[in-house]
Structure 1
Amino acid sequence: MSDTISTTAEVRTGLYIGGEERQTTATLDIPDPGKPGVIVGHAAAATPQDVDDAIAAAKAAFPAWSALSAAERAEQMRAALVGIAEERDADAAILSQENGKIRFEAWIDSLVFEIRWNLALMLADEVETGKVLPVVPGIPVETTVSYQPLGVVTVIVPFNWPIAILGAALPHALLAGNTAIVKPPPSAPLATTRVVQRIAEKLPPGVLNVVTGKDADMAALISSDDIAKVCFTGSVGGGKRIMEMASKSLTRVTLELGGNDAAVFLDDAILDDTHLDRIYAAVFDTTGQICMNAKRLYVHRSRLDELVDGLSARLGRAVIGYGLDEGTTMGPLHSPVQKAFVSEIIEEAKDAGADVREFGELPGGDLAGGNFLRPAIVIDPDPSLRVVTQEQFGPVIPIIPFDSEDEAIAAANDTWGGLCGSVWTADVDSANRVGSKLVCGYVWVNDHGATRLDLRAPFGGMKQSGFGREQGIEGVRAFQDTRSIAHIDAEALAAQAH
């Protein structure tokens, strides 16, 4: 990664519809969350007609794209990715400025997209693999079960890791034979639009489109009768709105929503520097703004002081600052609204008498007034406090002691969400026993967090963390439907009649 990349000129992005870039009269002004009053760039603001045009373009491209074999689609997709890394440094600099996270994380954001794209292409041989149900006594039919693409799909990604998250769904949708419209986050659309357009330019017109704009003008991406599926990553509230809108046309949805992930540290947990570094990153990466970050730490009472001291030492070295500045380890929160919410739940914990410890120094100068917060740990809070019950999505973590394994499991599962969880123990049997009892879609052992995700494995949540799965062949199947073709065996039918 280059050490000299910076962006001084404002970035401008358009729409990309039916193989052509399109500019709009209105634009979205994208603010820098670290520098009050600074505009990073301007994104095209699509009108409802632009959105309708994108849907029409994707619909027109679907017959030819879906008629290709999976291997043929994979070949074109592989070619479309060539050169994607050439502008990664510039993309990362732009994403860091519009998102707020440190540049290294923004760089990894794009890299993960490339990795996920290539992993999806490795599934090409499985995409069309069906099965045959043979004639058996009493059933005089040979039935072939196969898979078919759905049609036009919409992929909606959030601000925090927009490019990487796009890689968990978009290549699988295209490989399955669908055409797609990508909707980047309205508060951080610039880098994502750049990446998608560079790929779309190398695919047949209409196969891949990207539209940006105000959510109010984007309703057709969800409710149109021509949209076969919506894949949405975002908040629980956003997921509920998407589901309600999609219900009007019975459009299918995959929802990957927020989480209130529990990390359970048993009495034999390994708390050396390696493991403490892992849990620190799992909590505070992207300033705590990752759906699968650890949000609640349950630790055996005998190990409480070790965990608190270990995290405190690392927080004491945190450098809060601008994402592009060398040495910064923690950038601002993305929005003033989120900063206000996290500040509020920290103050609520203080007012309730919890042991709240804050770390680091807020930056000044041209960063004063940015969306920066001092990271905090909240030790042994009342479990009814919002810092425990709600997804913080910021740099604060409750650390809660327990005395028995059953108590820890019950507390970990006593929440609205079920995205991820983790078990920290030196014993494999204990890890499997406790991990199998956590009600969530993905469980780590002695690790946690987005950077440790197996990108080949199906991923998704339970309860209000959503439903459906991304990644792996399950992620491809999510963009397909099954078709059964039955052939009557006349001899078997005659034998059955007698």
Structure 2
Amino acid sequence: MSTVDIRKDLTQRNANVENEGAPRHGSPELTTHLLIDGDWCAASSADTFPVFNPARPDELVGHAAGATPHDVDRACSAAHKAFPRWAALTYAERADYLLRIAQALQSDAEDLEARTRLFTREHGKILREAALELSRLGERFVLTASYAQELSKEKQLPGPPFDTVVYRQPRGVAALIVPWNWPLSILGAKLPQALLAGNTVVIKPSRESCLTPALTIRRMAEMLPPGVINMVTGSSAVIGDPLLTHPLVRKINFTGSIGVGRRVMVKAAENLTPVTLELGGNDAGLVLNDACLDEAAFQRMFSGIFLSSGQICMALKRLYVHESRYDDVVAGLTKIAERQVVGDGLLPEVSMGPLNNREQFNIVRSLISEAKASGCDVRECGNIHNAEEFEQGYFVRPTFVLNPDQRMRVVTEEQFGPVIPIMSFADDEEAIDLANATNFGLCSSVWSSDNQRAMRVARRLEAGYTYLNAHGPTAQDNRGPFGGFKHSGIGRNLGFEGVVEFQDYHTISSAPGWLL
């Protein structure tokens, strides 16, 4: 099936909607395949697995190919075969390919709209957020391409004692493992970097959200020589270990939970394969007593907490507020939360969609139930668009848990949903101690009207990224490296440093005066 045929197929299926924009039960679904050596192909076993709409868990959106270990081997072999020619290109030549990909992702408005609507149906996020994620992918290719000139520079060390040249070279086949929550945006923090560095790749999207990623990856691969980009979809229990332990894989870049990240490290150790791990976060936000708390600030704070129904690794997940501003913050956030409409993300009036899957829904509901059982003041806000669908789908209203015990799971664990504890502190020292009292260390934020004070506090936070007077992906500077401390990860994505993660150093030297 050609790209044009896929676009027409998607458009037809997305057109099968009710008057309000919600798809009919039993509407036609599509099937996505694997991508191996430029071939859009079925799994060797011909197996597929279903993908359902989290707003209506009985509504089938499509099927994806269920790869086998044999398919993983084929994909890794294809990437290995394509590697020498791809690595031999200059940075400028590879950057040109990245720019072609960015253009291709945005050039067909009808295709882009169809993929956006499909993404909302399979993932649950509202249309506006789906469009943001799809557009961000292309932007990250453009930004990464801009590093080509700087990457091409070599360090020269004239003798004595030796003439020495130090430069970086690609590692080989890179396995890119992408989670379900922001699969395309997160792919944009790995894929263009791996390609510009000179690697070829095998991508494994999450089975919880893989239809739109599969179609988008295919579109990108069409801009490159066969085998540079390969993709396998399926169960991690079937293809996870074969990919992690494949002898041709020379780099693993994984984004996901801490538990799975530990397994990635264990399996990578079998071949001493280097890893980059971007794992969970339990981000603390510190609202100091001099913070500007106008309507715009509350909107940024709310977005940092509840964007994508809170299913973001860098979301604000623990909010610590100076005791003098506590009531103001609770009131300001509650006012915005009460305006939210929870429902199917395809509907224009809906501002918060469902959680992506039943497992995450059950985790979030258990955290809320535990907080209620402990006697906490738990406030569930917002409006339900359709009561019957709300009960059937994986919906959770925006929820605040006020001043819970610091030992409760809603504080100590990553909620990964639309619920946040709001706690008070007496002074900056206590706030810093509370923020750092965790095994997580992904992101944090400081809210203050004094930039020097904000910087002093920020420098003492144990986190890979700290936002000032904002929080989350809409405040992210993609030029900076992104990753975590402690259990939140190893290594960095994004920025110039994100490209270097896919390379290693090569030193060449000679007698003094002979080379330089």
Give the TM-score normalised by the residue count of structure 1: 0.95
Aligned to 2:416: 393
Q: Could you tell me how far apart the structure 2 residues matched to 1:82 and 1:115 are?
A: 10
Aligned to 2:156: 132
Structure 1 residue 361 displacement after superposition = 4.0
Matched, 1:238 2:260: yes
Matched, 1:61 2:85: no
Q: Could you tell me how far apart the structure 2 residues matched to 1:246 and 1:415 are?
A: 26
Aligned to 1:37: 58
Aligned to 2:71: 50
Structure 1 residue 487 displacement after superposition = 1.1
Matched, 1:96 2:117: no
SS at match of 1:372: coil
Structure 1 residue 343 displacement after superposition = 1.1
Aligned to 1:266: 288
Counterpart residue identity of residue 331, structure 2: D
Matched, 1:162 2:183: yes
Q: Could you tell me how far apart the structure 2 residues matched to 1:490 and 1:330 are?
A: 66
Matched, 1:21 2:21: no
Structure 1 residue 366 displacement after superposition = 4.5
Q: Could you tell me how far apart the structure 1 residues matched to 2:143 and 2:397 are?
A: 38
- Residue pair 2:125, 2:345 contacting (<8 A) in 1 also: yes
Aligned to 1:495: none
Aligned to 1:151: 172
Structure 1 residue 471 displacement after superposition = 1.1
SS at match of 2:416: coil
Q: Which stretch shows the higher mean deviation, 477-486 or 7-16?
A: 7-16
- Residue pair 1:378, 1:398 contacting (<8 A) in 2 also: yes
Aligned to 1:373: 396
State, as a whole percentage, how many aligned pairs show the same letter.
Answer: 45
Give the TM-score normalised by the residue count of structure 2: 0.92
Pick aligned residue for 2:495 from 458, 468, 472 = 472
Matches within 5 A, 1:285-300: 285-300=307-322
- Residue pair 1:91, 1:107 contacting (<8 A) in 2 also: no
Matched, 1:447 2:470: yes
- Residue pair 2:343, 2:354 contacting (<8 A) in 1 also: yes
Alignment gaps of 5+ in structure 2: 1-10, 18-22
Q: Could you tell me how far apart the structure 2 residues matched to 1:206 and 1:51 are?
A: 13
SS at match of 1:239: helix
Aligned to 2:134: 110
Q: Could you tell me how far apart the structure 1 residues matched to 2:299 and 2:495 are?
A: 28
Matches within 5 A, 1:70-469: 70-85=91-106, 86=108, 87-136=111-160, 140-218=161-239, 219-362=241-384, 363-469=386-492
Q: Deviations over 1:397-429 (max 9, x none)?
A: 111000011000000000110000000000011
SS at match of 2:341: coil
Structure 1 residue 490 displacement after superposition = 7.2
SS at match of 1:83: helix
Alignment gaps of 5+ in structure 1: 492-498
Q: Could you tell me how far apart the structure 2 residues matched to 1:79 and 1:271 are?
A: 43
Q: Which stretch shows the higher mean deviation, 272-281 or 17-26?
A: 17-26
Between the two proteins, the alignment pairs up a number of residues equal to 487
SS at match of 1:37: strand
Superposed CA RMSD: 1.6
Counterpart residue identity of residue 58, structure 1: A
SS at match of 1:433: helix
